[in-house]
Chain A
Amino acid sequence: MAESKLTAQQQAAYWEKTRGLMLVILAAWFVFSFLIHFWAPQLNTIRILGFPLGYYMAAQGSLIAFVLMCVWNARAQNRIDREFGVQDE
């Protein structure tokens, strides 16, 4: 593999963008893992297709969000990699 030709400045800029993406997704992860479930008893009073909403979010809603977060991370990071020309394939 060719040696990467990033200057120290480019490396810092690359990492700042990568870290920004990580923090945004980490925040989304926190919301769907913990925050919304604090209100599960209140959400449960709303019913959609028979599902109490609080139950639905823990059984299915958050799971869909997790899958989307992983896809989002893969795509957004690929864009950052290409922007700096450091993609490995």
Chain B
Amino acid sequence: MAAIQGGFLANLGRVYAIYTGAFVGFTIFIGILELFGVPNRILGYLFIFLTLGVYALIGWLARTAEVNEYYVAGRVVPAFYNGMATGADWMSAASFIGMAGSLYFGGYGGLAFVLGWTGGYVLVSILMAPYLRKFGQFTVPDFFSARYGGNLARGLAVIVLITASFTYVVAQIVGVGIITARFLDIGFQVACFVGLIGILLCSMLGGMKAVTWTQVAQYIILIIAYLIPVVVLSAKVTGVPIPQIMYGQALEKIEAFEKTFGVAQPYASAFTDARGNYSPTAMWNFFALILCLMVGTASLPHILMRYFTTPSVKQARDSVAWSLFFIFLLYFTAPAYAAFAKLEVYQNVIGQPIAKLPAWVASWGSIGLVGACDTAQAAVNFALCKGVTGNGDGILQLSEFRLHTDAVVLATPEIAGLPYVISGLVAAGGLAAALSTADGLLLAIANALSHDIYYKMIDPNADTKRRLIISRVLLALVAVVAAYVAGTLGADILFLVSWAFSIAAAGLFAGLVLGIWWKRAGDAAGVWGIVVGFGLCMFFLITTEFYGPWVKANLSWLGDINIVKIRGRDVAYIWGINNISVGIFGIPAAFLAMLVAGWVSKPASAEMQDFIDSIRIPAGSVRNAEAAH
């Protein structure tokens, strides 16, 4: 295996070039099958099962019995490939399916996700990745334990990690379920478990090593699948196949249409309310969300642990830049996706006679993602039309048109009049995005349970074989529980994901940053930082979401509190801040708690300060890593 491994690493470029070529060839082959009249359903099956098969094959080839390979992929992943793997790990169903949809509806407001999910990598690059790589252990809680005096800090970090990652992974499995259900024509709950098999096949046998090489493969598929439809759409609308530059024209045309339709809130207008007036609340919400998402990026363990896998500190830094570049390719395309889809709808759908609507309106309407609600009977054909009263004049007005958020990306190939093979490709891309993120998250959770809880806290004498078996069993268990929760709850993907960011940001960011940048911080500071940051964040999250009226009655001394009816509950917004950004209370609280506790309690020992000095420089060994124990 060692010889093959060496051969594989030496030929990475060739291996993935051949793989990319084979995938393109396969897509063309499916296109030819479509020309010969093979039914769409079969094409969908081919796409889903073939890509799942490839991921499973990589997972099997990368199986391992070595701890170092299982937890950190043997620390041999070059910066460029780790960048791609991080890109896939990062971009989830929320990015791939949800984001362009939010931009379509939210306009400028939706850009908070685009900014928030990219800028955090600057923080990762300058504040932590190189130092965590130099530290060179297996998990993020390992760092908390070494830096802040052992198992109390480790245990607290594990609690934050599991709370954030589990919330996040449930959202991913919902995404896998939606795609699998649609393209395999099976029930949502069953689809969640089918997707689960795909996830486990990738990660069970090879841990981080298998997940890494699968994620590189998944990145290639997801970026091809995301770019092709919008490039074709741009060529069709503007004559130039560079959507990222050409959608300025689409924005101008959208604005012109908005004037004719009498839309009060222009698409590209910043910080406006529904009537188009400047709104400070909209602005503060925009910035609060950006801050939570960016700081959360630099705190989520499934991302940070990717930088444990590079061969050197230098490559960890390079790798952050590559990661952000690969993520950027998708994120700067998403607003173009949304703009072209919106223009297409304004141009070819709104104001058209019902009889002359494009065919995709009916086909996506039948599965409840699009609604043309001109007459009262429209709800028979369009599930989305329930409760909408059209004027029955035979023309589709803007107020009579309904579109589901997820449909923007999934239906664009058909909106652009592309063959079904492209729809299949987009489904395969969405699946790759959701699976790769779910893999990374499950591995982070299972590693925290098996390495941090079992090996470090319960049985430090466990041998390698036993540790890896326990890790695999836990991985499968957590996955089944997550799939069960996803299948029964189902939920708004974007909302769950945003919570996960707030939780991680409030719980871990202060401890990570000050652990590296403030030598004085002692054990008490680290412990109090997590307790106060995470505690306050969870307190506000739970009370505002589930006990909104109680918050309004008892916490009004905090300032303005209003109740918003959303997700079927009375949710409290403190200072008008949407509670997906609860991190903005927890993040500063964690820093404050650490500063106070750090100054009041005795400073970190001389050994500890020497340890910090040694992780601050790339060369040399890590000194006194066990000083705290």
Contact residues of A with B, CB < 8 Å? 1-4, 6, 11, 14-15, 18-19, 21-22, 25-26, 29, 32-34, 37-38, 40-41, 44, 47-52, 54-56, 58-60, 62-64, 66-67, 69-71, 73-74, 77-78, 81, 84-89
Contacts and interface: CB of A to CB of B under 8 A. Distances in A.
B438 interface: no
Interface string B240-281: 000011011111100000000000000011110000001000
Given A40-B108, A58-B115, A63-B114, A1 B619 contact: yes
A2 B620 contact: yes
Interface string B594-629: 000000000000000000011011111100000000
Nearest to A78: B314
Contacts of A85: 619
Contacts of B325: 67, 70
A55 B270 CA distance: 7
A33 B270 contact: no
A48 B119 CA distance: 24
A59 B126 contact: no
Given A37-B270, A37-B286, A85-B619, 5 more contacts: A11-B617, A33-B294, A48-B248, A49-B245, A60-B332
A58 B617 CA distance: 35
B251 A51 contact: yes
B173 to A, nearest CB: 29
B254 to A, nearest CB: 10
Task: Give chain A's interface secondary structure class.
Answer: helix
B265 to A, nearest CB: 13
A50 B312 contact: no
Interface stretch (B62-70, B315-323, B386-394): B315-323
Given A37-B287, A55-B251, A88 B618 contact: yes
A22 B317 contact: no
A57 to B, nearest CB: 9
A49 B240 CA distance: 13
A72 to B, nearest CB: 9
Contacts of B269: 41, 44
Contacts of A66: 118-119, 121-122, 324, 328
B181 interface: no
B31 interface: no
Contacts of B321: 67, 70-71, 73-74
B108 A89 contact: no
B54 interface: no
A54 B118 contact: no
Contacts of B621: 1, 3
Contacts of B58: none
A55 B268 contact: yes
Nearest to A40: B270
20 contacts: A6-B617, A14-B617, A15-B616, A29-B126, A33-B119, A37-B286, A38-B283, A47-B248, A55-B111, A60-B335, A62-B118, A62-B119, A63-B115, A63-B332, A64-B332, A66-B122, A67-B325, A70-B320, A77-B130, A81-B618
B314 to A, nearest CB: 5
Nearest to A62: B115
- Give the interface centre of B130, B268, B318, B325 by most chain A CB atoms within 10 Å: B268
Contacts of B122: 25, 29, 66, 69-70, 73
B33 interface: no
Interface size class of B (residues with CB under 8 A): 35 or more
Contacts of B616: 11, 14-15, 18
A33 to B, nearest CB: 5
A4 B108 contact: no
B119 to A, nearest CB: 5
A1 B247 CA distance: 52
B245 to A, nearest CB: 7
Contacts of A14: 616-617
A66 B119 CA distance: 6
Contacts of B127: 22
B71 interface: no
B120 to A, nearest CB: 9
B313 interface: yes
- Give the interface centre of B126, B130, B271, B291 by most chain A CB atoms within 10 Å: B126
Contacts of B249: 49-50
Contacts of B290: 33-34
Nearest to B254: A50
Contacts of B287: 34, 37
Interface string B282-298: 01001100110010000
Given A48-B248, A55-B251, A88-B313, A4 B620 contact: yes
Contacts of A3: 620-621
Contacts of A56: 248
**Minimum-distance CB pairs A-B, first 7:** A50-B248, A4-B620, A40-B270, A70-B321, A88-B618, A51-B248, A58-B111
Interface string B113-148: 011001101110111001000100000000000000
A70 B324 contact: yes
- Give the interface centre of B270, B313, B321 by most chain A CB atoms within 10 Å: B270
A58 B130 contact: no
Given A3-B621, A63-B332, A89 B111 contact: no
B417 interface: no
- Give the interface centre of A3, A4, A59, A73 by most chain B CB atoms within 10 Å: A59
A41 B618 contact: no
A27 B195 CA distance: 43
A22 B513 CA distance: 12
A29 B123 contact: yes
B108 A58 contact: yes
B108 A25 contact: no
Contacts of A88: 134, 312-314, 618-619
B306 to A, nearest CB: 14
B618 A86 contact: yes
B227 to A, nearest CB: 15
A64 B325 CA distance: 9
Contacts of B134: 88
Contacts of A62: 115, 118-119
